[in-house]
Structure 1
Amino acid sequence: MDRLKLLVPLVVLLSPGLILVGLAQDQLTIDASKQPSPPARGRGPFPSSVSPGNSTHLPIRLELRIPSGPLQPDGTTLVDFVITNIGDDVILLPSSIKESDGPSAYLLTLWFTSDAVKDAYFKDKASGRPVKIQIVSTSAELYGRINDPHSFLWVAPNQSMKVHASPRVQLQPGTYTATAHAELLHLAAHDSSVSSEVVGTADSETVTTTLTATDPTPR
Protein backbone atom coordinates (compact mmCIF):
# COMPACT_ATOMS: atom_id res chain seq x y z
CA MET A 1 0.00 0.00 0.00
CA ASP A 2 1.42 3.38 -1.00
CA ARG A 3 1.52 5.59 2.09
CA LEU A 4 2.49 8.65 0.03
CA LYS A 5 -0.84 8.48 -1.82
CA LEU A 6 -2.83 7.74 1.34
CA LEU A 7 -1.34 10.83 2.94
CA VAL A 8 -2.55 13.16 0.17
CA PRO A 9 -6.26 13.40 1.09
CA LEU A 10 -5.43 13.88 4.78
CA VAL A 11 -3.11 16.83 4.20
CA VAL A 12 -5.44 18.33 1.58
CA LEU A 13 -8.27 18.22 4.10
CA LEU A 14 -6.16 19.91 6.76
CA SER A 15 -4.66 22.59 4.53
CA PRO A 16 -6.12 23.01 1.01
CA GLY A 17 -4.03 26.14 0.44
CA LEU A 18 -0.89 24.03 0.51
CA ILE A 19 -1.71 22.63 -2.93
CA LEU A 20 -1.79 26.05 -4.55
CA VAL A 21 1.56 26.94 -3.06
CA GLY A 22 3.17 23.77 -4.37
CA LEU A 23 1.70 23.92 -7.87
CA ALA A 24 2.42 27.61 -8.35
CA GLN A 25 6.19 27.13 -8.60
CA ASP A 26 8.33 25.30 -11.15
CA GLN A 27 10.88 24.24 -8.53
CA LEU A 28 10.52 24.28 -4.76
CA THR A 29 13.67 25.04 -2.78
CA ILE A 30 14.54 24.12 0.80
CA ASP A 31 17.65 25.56 2.46
CA ALA A 32 19.10 22.97 4.84
CA SER A 33 22.68 24.23 4.57
CA LYS A 34 22.80 25.28 8.24
CA GLN A 35 20.85 22.34 9.65
CA PRO A 36 22.79 20.76 12.56
CA SER A 37 23.83 17.13 12.29
CA PRO A 38 21.56 14.64 14.10
CA PRO A 39 22.93 11.96 16.44
CA ALA A 40 24.81 9.18 14.65
CA ARG A 41 22.52 6.49 13.33
CA GLY A 42 22.68 3.40 15.50
CA ARG A 43 21.11 0.67 13.39
CA GLY A 44 23.85 0.23 10.85
CA PRO A 45 24.75 1.67 7.45
CA PHE A 46 22.28 3.41 5.19
CA PRO A 47 21.00 1.54 2.14
CA SER A 48 22.57 2.74 -1.10
CA SER A 49 23.38 1.59 -4.60
CA VAL A 50 25.95 2.60 -7.21
CA SER A 51 23.25 2.15 -9.88
CA PRO A 52 20.80 5.04 -10.42
CA GLY A 53 17.11 4.42 -9.86
CA ASN A 54 14.34 4.31 -7.29
CA SER A 55 12.19 1.81 -5.44
CA THR A 56 8.52 1.29 -6.30
CA HIS A 57 6.98 3.36 -3.50
CA LEU A 58 9.22 6.40 -4.00
CA PRO A 59 8.65 7.54 -7.61
CA ILE A 60 11.41 10.14 -7.79
CA ARG A 61 14.53 10.87 -9.81
CA LEU A 62 17.40 12.03 -7.61
CA GLU A 63 20.12 14.33 -8.93
CA LEU A 64 23.27 15.57 -7.20
CA ARG A 65 24.77 18.93 -8.07
CA ILE A 66 28.22 19.42 -6.55
CA PRO A 67 30.19 22.34 -7.99
CA SER A 68 33.79 22.17 -9.11
CA GLY A 69 36.09 24.80 -7.63
CA PRO A 70 37.79 25.78 -4.38
CA LEU A 71 36.64 24.28 -1.11
CA GLN A 72 35.40 26.51 1.67
CA PRO A 73 37.79 27.31 4.56
CA ASP A 74 36.23 24.50 6.64
CA GLY A 75 36.97 21.97 3.88
CA THR A 76 33.37 21.61 2.68
CA THR A 77 31.34 22.81 -0.29
CA LEU A 78 27.59 23.34 -0.57
CA VAL A 79 25.64 20.84 -2.69
CA ASP A 80 22.13 20.55 -4.11
CA PHE A 81 19.90 17.49 -4.11
CA VAL A 82 17.22 17.77 -6.82
CA ILE A 83 14.20 15.50 -6.37
CA THR A 84 11.84 15.17 -9.36
CA ASN A 85 8.47 13.42 -9.28
CA ILE A 86 8.58 10.87 -12.14
CA GLY A 87 5.22 9.31 -11.28
CA ASP A 88 1.77 9.95 -12.72
CA ASP A 89 0.29 11.34 -9.48
CA VAL A 90 1.17 14.13 -7.09
CA ILE A 91 3.20 13.08 -4.05
CA LEU A 92 3.82 14.66 -0.67
CA LEU A 93 7.37 14.87 0.62
CA PRO A 94 8.62 15.93 4.06
CA SER A 95 9.94 19.50 3.94
CA SER A 96 10.63 20.72 7.48
CA ILE A 97 14.26 21.02 8.59
CA LYS A 98 13.24 21.27 12.25
CA GLU A 99 12.82 18.13 14.30
CA SER A 100 10.01 18.27 16.85
CA ASP A 101 10.00 16.80 20.34
CA GLY A 102 7.48 14.15 19.27
CA PRO A 103 8.05 11.52 16.59
CA SER A 104 7.72 12.60 12.98
CA ALA A 105 5.39 10.68 10.72
CA TYR A 106 7.91 10.67 7.85
CA LEU A 107 11.65 11.29 7.59
CA LEU A 108 13.48 11.93 4.31
CA THR A 109 17.26 11.59 4.61
CA LEU A 110 19.67 12.81 1.92
CA TRP A 111 23.40 12.11 1.68
CA PHE A 112 26.11 11.36 -0.85
CA THR A 113 29.02 8.97 -1.10
CA SER A 114 32.37 9.87 -2.65
CA ASP A 115 36.09 9.17 -2.38
CA ALA A 116 36.41 12.93 -1.92
CA VAL A 117 35.26 12.55 1.69
CA LYS A 118 38.25 12.83 4.00
CA ASP A 119 38.65 9.91 6.39
CA ALA A 120 38.13 10.63 10.08
CA TYR A 121 39.84 8.80 12.94
CA PHE A 122 39.74 8.48 16.71
CA LYS A 123 42.51 7.30 19.02
CA ASP A 124 41.97 3.89 20.58
CA LYS A 125 42.73 4.19 24.29
CA ALA A 126 43.88 0.58 24.66
CA SER A 127 46.34 0.47 21.77
CA GLY A 128 46.97 4.17 21.27
CA ARG A 129 46.50 3.68 17.53
CA PRO A 130 44.21 5.71 15.26
CA VAL A 131 41.03 3.88 14.21
CA LYS A 132 38.96 4.89 11.19
CA ILE A 133 35.44 6.05 12.03
CA GLN A 134 32.93 3.96 10.05
CA ILE A 135 29.94 6.31 10.07
CA VAL A 136 27.89 7.53 7.11
CA SER A 137 27.52 11.31 7.34
CA THR A 138 24.21 12.70 6.12
CA SER A 139 23.63 16.05 4.43
CA ALA A 140 19.98 16.79 5.27
CA GLU A 141 17.01 15.40 7.17
CA LEU A 142 13.51 16.56 6.24
CA TYR A 143 10.65 15.90 8.64
CA GLY A 144 6.93 15.58 7.94
CA ARG A 145 4.28 15.32 10.66
CA ILE A 146 0.69 14.22 10.14
CA ASN A 147 -0.60 16.93 12.50
CA ASP A 148 1.37 19.65 10.66
CA PRO A 149 0.42 19.83 6.96
CA HIS A 150 2.90 22.67 6.42
CA SER A 151 5.74 20.22 7.08
CA PHE A 152 5.07 18.62 3.67
CA LEU A 153 5.42 19.86 0.10
CA TRP A 154 3.03 18.87 -2.66
CA VAL A 155 5.13 17.85 -5.69
CA ALA A 156 3.27 17.44 -8.99
CA PRO A 157 4.38 15.07 -11.78
CA ASN A 158 7.57 16.37 -13.46
CA GLN A 159 7.93 19.01 -10.75
CA SER A 160 11.16 19.21 -8.73
CA MET A 161 12.13 20.00 -5.17
CA LYS A 162 15.69 21.23 -4.54
CA VAL A 163 17.40 20.81 -1.19
CA HIS A 164 20.43 23.05 -0.60
CA ALA A 165 22.70 21.35 1.92
CA SER A 166 26.17 20.92 3.40
CA PRO A 167 28.02 17.59 3.22
CA ARG A 168 28.83 18.00 6.96
CA VAL A 169 32.19 16.35 6.32
CA GLN A 170 35.54 17.62 5.11
CA LEU A 171 36.44 16.96 1.49
CA GLN A 172 39.86 16.70 -0.10
CA PRO A 173 41.16 18.39 -3.26
CA GLY A 174 41.20 16.38 -6.47
CA THR A 175 38.88 14.99 -9.14
CA TYR A 176 36.30 12.57 -7.76
CA THR A 177 32.96 10.97 -8.52
CA ALA A 178 29.98 11.32 -6.19
CA THR A 179 26.56 9.67 -5.92
CA ALA A 180 23.51 10.96 -4.04
CA HIS A 181 21.17 8.76 -2.04
CA ALA A 182 17.72 9.26 -0.50
CA GLU A 183 15.74 7.23 2.02
CA LEU A 184 12.14 7.85 3.11
CA LEU A 185 11.13 6.35 6.45
CA HIS A 186 7.71 6.05 8.07
CA LEU A 187 7.96 6.43 11.84
CA ALA A 188 5.37 5.12 14.28
CA ALA A 189 5.26 5.61 18.05
CA HIS A 190 4.55 2.60 20.26
CA ASP A 191 4.33 3.49 23.97
CA SER A 192 7.88 4.55 24.86
CA SER A 193 9.53 3.42 21.62
CA VAL A 194 9.46 4.44 17.96
CA SER A 195 9.61 1.96 15.10
CA SER A 196 10.67 2.78 11.54
CA GLU A 197 9.77 1.28 8.19
CA VAL A 198 11.46 2.06 4.88
CA VAL A 199 8.93 3.48 2.41
CA GLY A 200 11.41 3.82 -0.44
CA THR A 201 14.93 4.69 -1.56
CA ALA A 202 16.53 6.39 -4.55
CA ASP A 203 20.05 6.80 -5.96
CA SER A 204 21.36 9.35 -8.44
CA GLU A 205 23.53 9.13 -11.52
CA THR A 206 27.21 9.43 -10.63
CA VAL A 207 28.66 12.89 -11.20
CA THR A 208 32.28 14.03 -11.44
CA THR A 209 33.65 17.11 -9.70
CA THR A 210 37.07 18.72 -9.38
CA LEU A 211 37.76 20.27 -6.00
CA THR A 212 40.70 22.55 -5.31
CA ALA A 213 42.33 23.68 -2.10
CA THR A 214 40.89 26.70 -0.35
CA ASP A 215 42.21 29.95 -1.78
CA PRO A 216 44.64 31.58 0.66
CA THR A 217 43.30 34.65 2.38
CA PRO A 218 44.69 37.74 0.62
CA ARG A 219 46.82 39.98 2.77
Structure 2
Amino acid sequence: MWRWRRRTEVPLFIASTVFLGCYAVRILDDDLPQGWRDALLTVTYTTWAMFVADFAVRWRISGRGLSFVRTHLLDAIVVVLPLLRPLRIVEIYDSVQHRREHARLSLYARVMAYASMTAVLLGFAGALTVYAAERGAPGATIRTFGDSVWWACSTLTTVGYGDVTPVTPKGRSVAVLMMAGGLALLGAVTGSFSSWLIQRFALDEDRRPPGGSPGGLL
Protein backbone atom coordinates (compact mmCIF):
# COMPACT_ATOMS: atom_id res chain seq x y z
CA MET A 1 0.00 0.00 0.00
CA TRP A 2 2.94 2.31 0.65
CA ARG A 3 3.96 2.02 -3.01
CA TRP A 4 0.46 3.03 -4.12
CA ARG A 5 0.45 6.03 -1.79
CA ARG A 6 3.86 7.15 -2.99
CA ARG A 7 2.75 7.01 -6.63
CA THR A 8 -0.56 8.79 -6.11
CA GLU A 9 0.38 11.47 -3.58
CA VAL A 10 1.50 14.08 -6.14
CA PRO A 11 -1.35 13.45 -8.66
CA LEU A 12 -3.90 13.65 -5.87
CA PHE A 13 -2.30 16.79 -4.51
CA ILE A 14 -2.66 18.33 -7.98
CA ALA A 15 -6.25 17.08 -8.15
CA SER A 16 -7.02 18.73 -4.81
CA THR A 17 -5.59 21.99 -6.15
CA VAL A 18 -7.79 21.72 -9.26
CA PHE A 19 -10.79 20.92 -7.05
CA LEU A 20 -10.10 24.01 -4.97
CA GLY A 21 -9.62 26.18 -8.07
CA CYS A 22 -12.96 25.15 -9.56
CA TYR A 23 -14.66 25.69 -6.21
CA ALA A 24 -13.08 29.15 -5.93
CA VAL A 25 -14.16 30.33 -9.38
CA ARG A 26 -17.74 29.22 -8.82
CA ILE A 27 -17.90 31.18 -5.56
CA LEU A 28 -15.99 34.33 -6.47
CA ASP A 29 -17.30 34.95 -10.00
CA ASP A 30 -20.98 35.82 -9.70
CA ASP A 31 -21.18 36.69 -13.41
CA LEU A 32 -19.83 33.35 -14.64
CA PRO A 33 -21.96 31.96 -17.51
CA GLN A 34 -23.98 28.89 -16.70
CA GLY A 35 -22.08 26.82 -19.24
CA TRP A 36 -18.81 27.48 -17.47
CA ARG A 37 -20.40 26.75 -14.11
CA ASP A 38 -21.53 23.37 -15.39
CA ALA A 39 -18.07 22.62 -16.79
CA LEU A 40 -16.38 23.54 -13.50
CA LEU A 41 -18.89 21.43 -11.61
CA THR A 42 -18.04 18.47 -13.87
CA VAL A 43 -14.32 18.89 -13.17
CA THR A 44 -15.08 19.17 -9.46
CA TYR A 45 -16.98 15.88 -9.42
CA THR A 46 -14.25 14.22 -11.52
CA THR A 47 -11.52 15.13 -9.03
CA TRP A 48 -13.80 14.09 -6.18
CA ALA A 49 -14.20 10.70 -7.88
CA MET A 50 -10.39 10.40 -7.90
CA PHE A 51 -10.32 10.79 -4.11
CA VAL A 52 -13.03 8.17 -3.71
CA ALA A 53 -11.22 5.77 -6.05
CA ASP A 54 -7.94 6.25 -4.19
CA PHE A 55 -9.59 5.49 -0.85
CA ALA A 56 -11.36 2.45 -2.30
CA VAL A 57 -8.13 1.04 -3.78
CA ARG A 58 -6.19 1.47 -0.55
CA TRP A 59 -9.07 -0.11 1.38
CA ARG A 60 -9.02 -3.08 -1.00
CA ILE A 61 -5.23 -3.45 -0.86
CA SER A 62 -5.20 -3.39 2.92
CA GLY A 63 -7.59 -6.36 3.16
CA ARG A 64 -8.60 -5.15 6.63
CA GLY A 65 -12.32 -4.55 6.14
CA LEU A 66 -13.97 -1.93 8.33
CA SER A 67 -10.92 -1.69 10.57
CA PHE A 68 -9.19 0.18 7.74
CA VAL A 69 -11.76 2.97 7.99
CA ARG A 70 -11.30 3.21 11.76
CA THR A 71 -7.52 3.52 11.45
CA HIS A 72 -7.75 5.93 8.48
CA LEU A 73 -10.53 8.16 9.76
CA LEU A 74 -8.91 11.34 8.42
CA ASP A 75 -8.81 9.86 4.90
CA ALA A 76 -12.48 8.95 5.18
CA ILE A 77 -13.34 12.50 6.26
CA VAL A 78 -11.34 13.91 3.34
CA VAL A 79 -13.35 11.77 0.91
CA VAL A 80 -16.54 13.34 2.27
CA LEU A 81 -15.04 16.85 2.53
CA PRO A 82 -12.29 17.13 -0.14
CA LEU A 83 -11.45 20.70 0.89
CA LEU A 84 -9.86 19.20 4.03
CA ARG A 85 -7.36 17.19 2.00
CA PRO A 86 -4.44 19.44 3.05
CA LEU A 87 -4.76 17.97 6.56
CA ARG A 88 -3.26 14.72 5.21
CA ILE A 89 0.10 16.34 5.94
CA VAL A 90 -0.36 14.89 9.44
CA GLU A 91 -0.17 11.35 8.05
CA ILE A 92 2.85 12.23 5.94
CA TYR A 93 4.56 13.61 9.04
CA ASP A 94 3.82 10.38 10.90
CA SER A 95 5.34 8.31 8.09
CA VAL A 96 8.49 10.43 8.23
CA GLN A 97 8.70 9.88 11.96
CA HIS A 98 8.71 6.11 11.37
CA ARG A 99 11.58 6.43 8.87
CA ARG A 100 13.89 8.62 10.92
CA GLU A 101 16.89 6.29 11.32
CA HIS A 102 19.07 9.05 9.83
CA ALA A 103 18.88 12.81 10.16
CA ARG A 104 17.99 13.53 6.55
CA LEU A 105 17.38 17.24 6.11
CA SER A 106 15.91 16.77 2.63
CA LEU A 107 13.19 14.49 4.00
CA TYR A 108 12.20 16.86 6.80
CA ALA A 109 12.52 19.87 4.51
CA ARG A 110 9.98 18.30 2.16
CA VAL A 111 7.56 17.81 5.04
CA MET A 112 7.96 21.42 6.13
CA ALA A 113 7.55 22.68 2.57
CA TYR A 114 4.48 20.47 2.07
CA ALA A 115 3.01 21.70 5.35
CA SER A 116 3.52 25.32 4.30
CA MET A 117 1.80 24.76 0.96
CA THR A 118 -1.07 22.87 2.51
CA ALA A 119 -1.53 25.58 5.13
CA VAL A 120 -2.03 28.05 2.27
CA LEU A 121 -4.47 25.70 0.53
CA LEU A 122 -6.40 25.02 3.73
CA GLY A 123 -6.57 28.72 4.56
CA PHE A 124 -7.80 29.55 1.07
CA ALA A 125 -10.40 26.78 1.18
CA GLY A 126 -11.60 27.90 4.60
CA ALA A 127 -11.78 31.52 3.47
CA LEU A 128 -13.87 30.55 0.45
CA THR A 129 -16.28 28.41 2.44
CA VAL A 130 -16.77 31.02 5.16
CA TYR A 131 -17.20 33.80 2.60
CA ALA A 132 -19.89 31.81 0.81
CA ALA A 133 -21.70 31.21 4.11
CA GLU A 134 -21.30 34.66 5.65
CA ARG A 135 -21.57 37.26 2.87
CA GLY A 136 -25.34 37.45 2.92
CA ALA A 137 -26.01 36.58 6.56
CA PRO A 138 -27.71 39.12 8.88
CA GLY A 139 -25.22 40.75 11.24
CA ALA A 140 -22.22 39.29 9.41
CA THR A 141 -18.82 40.97 9.89
CA ILE A 142 -17.24 38.99 7.02
CA ARG A 143 -18.68 40.85 4.05
CA THR A 144 -15.88 40.62 1.46
CA PHE A 145 -13.46 37.91 0.42
CA GLY A 146 -10.65 40.06 1.81
CA ASP A 147 -12.33 39.95 5.23
CA SER A 148 -12.56 36.18 4.93
CA VAL A 149 -8.87 35.80 4.01
CA TRP A 150 -7.87 37.97 6.97
CA TRP A 151 -10.03 35.87 9.27
CA ALA A 152 -8.56 32.62 7.88
CA CYS A 153 -4.97 33.82 8.45
CA SER A 154 -5.64 34.83 12.05
CA THR A 155 -7.50 31.57 12.71
CA LEU A 156 -4.90 29.24 11.18
CA THR A 157 -2.11 30.89 13.12
CA THR A 158 -4.26 30.63 16.30
CA VAL A 159 -3.98 34.40 16.83
CA GLY A 160 -7.71 35.12 16.61
CA TYR A 161 -7.98 38.92 16.75
CA GLY A 162 -11.77 38.76 16.88
CA ASP A 163 -12.35 41.82 14.69
CA VAL A 164 -14.19 39.65 12.16
CA THR A 165 -15.93 36.44 13.17
CA PRO A 166 -18.39 34.03 11.54
CA VAL A 167 -21.98 34.20 12.75
CA THR A 168 -23.59 31.34 10.82
CA PRO A 169 -23.54 27.70 12.00
CA LYS A 170 -21.68 26.67 8.84
CA GLY A 171 -19.12 29.41 9.27
CA ARG A 172 -18.48 28.53 12.89
CA SER A 173 -18.16 24.84 12.04
CA VAL A 174 -15.49 25.74 9.49
CA ALA A 175 -13.79 27.87 12.15
CA VAL A 176 -13.48 24.87 14.47
CA LEU A 177 -11.92 22.81 11.68
CA MET A 178 -9.57 25.66 10.80
CA MET A 179 -8.35 25.99 14.38
CA ALA A 180 -7.70 22.27 14.62
CA GLY A 181 -6.01 22.29 11.21
CA GLY A 182 -3.80 25.21 12.16
CA LEU A 183 -2.58 23.43 15.27
CA ALA A 184 -1.92 20.22 13.30
CA LEU A 185 0.03 21.97 10.54
CA LEU A 186 2.09 24.08 12.93
CA GLY A 187 2.82 20.93 14.92
CA ALA A 188 4.00 19.13 11.79
CA VAL A 189 6.41 21.93 10.88
CA THR A 190 7.85 22.51 14.34
CA GLY A 191 7.94 18.79 15.09
CA SER A 192 9.84 18.01 11.88
CA PHE A 193 12.41 20.72 12.49
CA SER A 194 12.84 19.75 16.15
CA SER A 195 13.21 16.06 15.27
CA TRP A 196 15.87 16.84 12.69
CA LEU A 197 17.82 18.98 15.14
CA ILE A 198 17.70 16.31 17.86
CA GLN A 199 18.84 13.58 15.48
CA ARG A 200 21.61 15.82 14.11
CA PHE A 201 22.94 16.47 17.62
CA ALA A 202 22.62 12.78 18.52
CA LEU A 203 24.64 11.74 15.47
CA ASP A 204 27.33 14.31 16.26
CA GLU A 205 27.47 13.02 19.82
CA ASP A 206 27.89 9.41 18.63
CA ARG A 207 30.82 10.41 16.42
CA ARG A 208 32.81 11.88 19.28
CA PRO A 209 35.75 9.78 20.57
CA PRO A 210 34.93 8.06 23.87
CA GLY A 211 35.80 10.32 26.79
CA GLY A 212 37.00 13.09 24.45
CA SER A 213 35.85 16.35 23.01
CA PRO A 214 34.74 16.78 19.38
CA GLY A 215 38.23 17.98 18.52
CA GLY A 216 39.96 15.21 20.44
CA LEU A 217 41.71 17.66 22.79
CA LEU A 218 40.69 15.87 26.00
- The two structures have a TM-score, normalised by structure 1, of 0.24
**Rg larger in structure:** 2
Query: Greater RCO between the two (CA within 8 Å, min separation 6)?
Result: 1
Instruction: Tell me which protein shows more helix as a share of its residues.
Output: 2
Using structure 2 for the length normalisation, give the TM-score.
Answer: 0.24
More strand by share: 1
